[in-house]
Structure 1
Amino acid sequence: MTDDLAPARAGNSATSSEIARLSEVAVLDGELIDPNQDPAARHGVALYDPAVAAVLAVLDQGAQEHLDAVRPRKTRTGYARDWALWEEFHGWLAERTGVPLPLTAVNKGTLVGFVTWLDEVKQAAPNSIDRRITGVTLTARRPAYDVEVPKEATLAARAALKPLKNDRLRQARGRGQAAPTSPEQLRAMNTAPRTAAAGSEPATRPGQRTSTLPDLAVYRNRALVTMAFGIAGRAEEVSALTLADVVLVEEGLEVHVPSVKGRPARDVEIARGSHPDSCPVLNWLAWKGAAEAAGLGAVGPAFRGVDQWGHLGTRRLSPDGCRLVITRSAERAGLDVRLTGHSMRSGFITTGSKKGKRPDQLRRQSGHSASSAVFWEYVRKGARWEETASQGIGL
């Protein structure tokens, strides 16, 4: 966009004088062009008059501002960190070449160099590098930089990344995929002692300060971990649940999983379990009954804070709070694996696959797309010991 359209681009209305001033200039897709340009060069692109171009410019700016506003705060923070690393990489590159490049130089050479720098200098995990590529390219395309990132640049960057993802030592730099939870682990978590050392570790030294979970927190934690498993939910989805989203029916629970981070909402069913300590239905009813006695009410968040004295809060438990409940419940149970918020989601899929559930059933519960590589990896993990190639060959 040239300076002639600056008022419109800044979000102001195009005045009649501005339109008159531009009336003799052709506008192509909202961009001013040379009226003497060869028409063949404009083949297949719409020609707009200045008034239309001005309105389109305002709408484009407003659309971008809206998208920025609705993007989750955590995502915005992550993109800002990605761009800060991009700036740091450019500073590192300038020290070695003696030539500072503009940050808008997002092409094959710089992106591949960025991947190599993150790997060799920053010792970043491959999955983190993959996300950094996305963060940099999306930020570069925003109006603040308005960079047209070539497709071959991102393809080259991910081609450079591919062998790094196949390196087990490099993959070990990050936390890796969340360890999947099993129903047996859920039962261990829900029957673990409620007293633990401060910081959730078991007390091991005389005089070490301990903390005891109040009854209401115990009920909430049991319901939360089994609900997260039952809906194959993300921590953000469990946090977003309201009382109205969970409906008791004869067969079990009908749960409306709200939309989070722009993902579509979904409606799932949770059947009654055969073990009371891992049954999402029984644990939900126990939590709801105890919370109602503490003043839960009929509306509001499904899972709320509980203080050390057992007082029920009014605010929803945050996604980080939900993750912490899962991790600390596993620690209290003495499990030999660290469970996280995503463990419930991966655990449901691997367990369902192991028990012969169809992939389409599992996807409907988890909300994964049919092309999700992560989903199919969970499925393969669950079915890895079913009809193995080494089975029945005479070994």
Structure 2
Amino acid sequence: MTVTAETAAAGDVAAPDVPDSPAAERQALIERWAERHGVDAARRLADTEDLADAVEKEITPDNTVDTYNKSWRVWERFCAAARLPGPEATRGSLVAFVTWMLREGQQNGKGYAPSSASTHLAAAVVGLRERGVTVSGDDQAAARAALQGLAVKLPQAGERRGRGQASGADIDGLRAVARACPDTLTGDRDKALTLTGFHYASRSQDPAGLLTGDVTLHPRGLVVAVLTGRTKHSVRNAKIRYADDPAICPVRAWTAYRTRLADEHGPRWADPSAPAFVGIDQWGHVTGGMVPDSVTRAIKRISKRAGVPIAWTGHSLRIGLASVARRKGRDAIADQGGWARHSRSMLGYMQRDDGWDDNASASLA
């Protein structure tokens, strides 16, 4: 039976068996409203709570939802392996969870990298709390302390986990990419994807989310409206100027790609609601809009084809813009890439090059 304000106020519905569950908390809240304001007002207040829940779900970024779902499945695998009840969290079970993740948590039996284990722990705690499980701050802190301590022991034992830092794209790499792109629609797409992505510091999800209408021509170049923010959605309008060298000009590459796409596959791909970057199979058929994983694979494939010494990843274009712009003495790097002004990640990308250019051991011999 559905719990309503009227039935709650009348006492016709028993409270749920789990007193601390979200449903029980909502039930108790409706009962208090009914006592204070009457049944009709309580029902309307309950409806606004349902609306708030729906809005929260709608505005939560898809990648955040995916992370929570993946991490919950990791927690369920741990509980099954340890023969522990899933809807329960104690200091011991959380410490056992991080220990299991580092030792054997992956489906292939290998341990997770500490950074991945940390993400899964945080998301699993969110999942537990959403299911009405009380997770104390002290218990979670104990698990984090265990994770940090065990992570320190991994390199001491000679283990290196994780992919490490992605390499950043640079101008020489962009030139090699442009030369290696074949004279096909796929080649034009690859060139536009790489050159424009570098100039607005793209993550792999950025070009995947772009529509044709998000990229507009301007007398001085392009304006790319990028949806940004992991927890807060906003749009930054990244301006990309014509390059002095036509061979690596992002504006010319974008124009050539879009013109060829419409000529070969019809004007519907020029519609503002069409994907900006499309997937293309080995026979030249357009398969629809690209997704983040396909962008990541494309960037890696493009860099390998160009003979870039260290293959790029989906984050290499973003790292590259910060590093190259810093070397060139450019201002407003944060604005172009959508970073906070004192972003630690942006400063970290810049400091990679600073460590070489401003090096205490340089030219001593």
TM-score by length of 1: 0.73
Report the CA distance shift for 1:344/1:49 in structure 2 as closer, same or farther (over 3 A).
Answer: same
Counterpart contact for 1:219–1:283, Cα < 8 Å: yes
Counterpart contact for 2:88–2:128, Cα < 8 Å: no
User: Residue 154 of structure 1 is aligned with which of 140, 144, 160?
Assistant: 140
Q: d(CA) in 1 for partners of 2:329 and 2:214?
A: 28
**What residue number does 1:184 align with?**
172
Deviation at 1:270, TM superposition (A): 1.4
Report the CA distance shift for 1:77/1:245 in structure 2 as closer, same or farther (over 3 A).
Answer: closer
User: Residue 9 of structure 2 is aligned with which of 14, 19, 43?
Assistant: 19
Deviation at 1:162, TM superposition (A): 3.1
What does the per-residue CA deviation read over 1:349-376, in whole Å, with 9 as the maximum and x for residues that have no partner? 1222233334xx2221222234643333
Q: Is 1:257 aligned to residue 230 of structure 2?
A: no
Report the CA distance shift for 1:324/1:92 in structure 2 as closer, same or farther (over 3 A).
Answer: closer
Helix, strand or coil at the partner of 2:357 = coil
**What residue number does 1:367 align with?**
338
User: Residue 260 of structure 2 is aligned with which of 287, 290, 306?
Assistant: 290
Deviation at 1:320, TM superposition (A): 2.2
Q: d(CA) in 2 for partners of 1:62 and 1:109?
A: 37
**What residue number does 1:141 align with?**
129
Helix, strand or coil at the partner of 2:234 = coil
Q: d(CA) in 2 for partners of 1:245 and 1:334?
A: 32
Q: d(CA) in 2 for partners of 1:233 and 1:164?
A: 34
Choose 1 or 2 for highest CA Rg: 1
Report the CA distance shift for 1:193/1:244 in structure 2 as closer, same or farther (over 3 A).
Answer: closer
User: Residue 356 of structure 2 is aligned with which of 362, 370, 385?
Assistant: 385
**What residue number does 1:351 align with?**
324
Task: Please tell me the residue identity of whatever aligns with 2:96.
Answer: G
Report the CA distance shift for 1:121/1:18 in structure 2 as closer, same or farther (over 3 A).
Answer: closer
Deviation at 1:129, TM superposition (A): 0.4
User: Residue 297 of structure 2 is aligned with which of 324, 327, 339?
Assistant: 324
Q: d(CA) in 2 for partners of 1:50 and 1:158?
A: 46
**What residue number does 1:173 align with?**
161
Counterpart contact for 1:350–1:383, Cα < 8 Å: no
**What residue number does 1:118 align with?**
101
Deviation at 1:226, TM superposition (A): 0.8
Deviation at 1:308, TM superposition (A): 3.7
Helix, strand or coil at the partner of 2:224 = strand
Task: Please tell me the residue identity of whatever aligns with 1:187.
Answer: R
User: Residue 305 of structure 1 is aligned with which of 279, 283, 286?
Assistant: 279
What does the per-residue CA deviation read over 1:80-126, in whole Å, with 9 as the maximum and x for residues that have no partner? 332232233234444xxxxx4x3333243322221122112331111
Deviation at 1:29, TM superposition (A): 8.0
Report the CA distance shift for 1:350/1:158 in structure 2 as closer, same or farther (over 3 A).
Answer: farther
Report the CA distance shift for 1:77/1:32 in structure 2 as closer, same or farther (over 3 A).
Answer: closer
User: Residue 127 of structure 1 is aligned with which of 115, 130, 133?
Assistant: 115
Q: d(CA) in 2 for partners of 1:283 and 1:350?
A: 22
Deviation at 1:390, TM superposition (A): 3.4
Helix, strand or coil at the partner of 1:265 = strand
Larger mean CA deviation between 271-280 and 180-189 belongs to 271-280
TM-score by length of 2: 0.79
Helix, strand or coil at the partner of 2:69 = helix
Counterpart contact for 2:188–2:256, Cα < 8 Å: yes
- Which structure 2 residues correspond to residues 181-220 of structure 1 after superposition, within 5 A? 181-192=169-180, 194=182, 215-220=184-189
Helix, strand or coil at the partner of 1:258 = strand
Instruction: Extract unaligned runs of 5+ from structure 2.
Output: 13-23, 30-34, 106-110
Q: d(CA) in 2 for partners of 1:371 and 1:112?
A: 34
User: Residue 77 of structure 2 is aligned with which of 70, 83, 88?
Assistant: 88
**What residue number does 1:203 align with?**
none
Name the one with the larger helix percent. 2
Helix, strand or coil at the partner of 2:177 = helix
Q: d(CA) in 2 for partners of 1:357 and 1:151?
A: 43
Counterpart contact for 2:201–2:317, Cα < 8 Å: yes
What does the per-residue CA deviation read over 1:307-334, in whole Å, with 9 as the maximum and x for residues that have no partner? 4444556x32222222222111112112
Counterpart contact for 2:181–2:187, Cα < 8 Å: no
Instruction: Extract unaligned runs of 5+ from structure 1.
Output: 1-5, 23-27, 34-46, 95-99, 195-213
Larger mean CA deviation between 169-178 and 108-117 belongs to 169-178
Counterpart contact for 1:225–1:344, Cα < 8 Å: yes
Report the CA distance shift for 1:373/1:110 in structure 2 as closer, same or farther (over 3 A).
Answer: farther
Task: Please tell me the residue identity of whatever aligns with 1:333.
Answer: A
User: Residue 336 of structure 1 is aligned with which of 309, 313, 335?
Assistant: 309
Q: d(CA) in 1 for partners of 2:343 and 2:249?
A: 28
Q: d(CA) in 2 for partners of 1:76 and 1:170?
A: 35
Helix, strand or coil at the partner of 2:239 = strand
Counterpart contact for 2:181–2:190, Cα < 8 Å: no
Q: d(CA) in 1 for partners of 2:329 and 2:210?
A: 29
Q: Give the % identical residues.
A: 29
Report the CA distance shift for 1:231/1:189 in structure 2 as closer, same or farther (over 3 A).
Answer: same
Q: d(CA) in 2 for partners of 1:109 and 1:58?
A: 39
Report the CA distance shift for 1:53/1:150 in structure 2 as closer, same or farther (over 3 A).
Answer: farther
What does the per-residue CA deviation read over 1:260-309, in whole Å, with 9 as the maximum and x for residues that have no partner? 76532211111222333322112112212322323343422221233444
